[in-house]
Amino acid sequence: MNITETIKFNKLKAENETLEAENEALKKELAKLKQQILYKEDFWFQLYCINCEKVDKCILSSCSENTWRNNYVLKDNSKSKYDTLPSKEDKLNNE
């Protein structure tokens, strides 16, 4: 191997190490984001009346099936793993 090939090899080796480090960082970030994915099982379904604003039963005679809306509620709001999601304000402050 001559000097030119050695220089090219060392340069490619350094670039490869940089890309491998970047790849590892992206893998960690992806794993973190996968933990924040919402699944269908994380919600419970309820019917919501837009007239009387009651859940699963109407109290007004003017309510009908047309006033019912499907509503999905996050099951466990108290200790949610989704609280770690970044907010828009944090992104704007960091830029």
- List, for residues 73-95, the tens digit of each pLDDT value: 777 765 566 666 666 666 566 65
Following DSSP, what letter does each residue of 6-72 receive, concatenated?
A: HHHHHHHHHHHHHHHHHHHHHHHHHHHHHTT---GGGEEEEEEETTT--BSS--STT--GGGEEEEE
Contact 40, 86 (CB under 8 A): no
Residue 38 identity: L
At 31 the pLDDT is 87
- List, for residues 13-52, the tens digit of each pLDDT value: 999 999 999 999 999 999 888 877 777 777 888 888 877 7
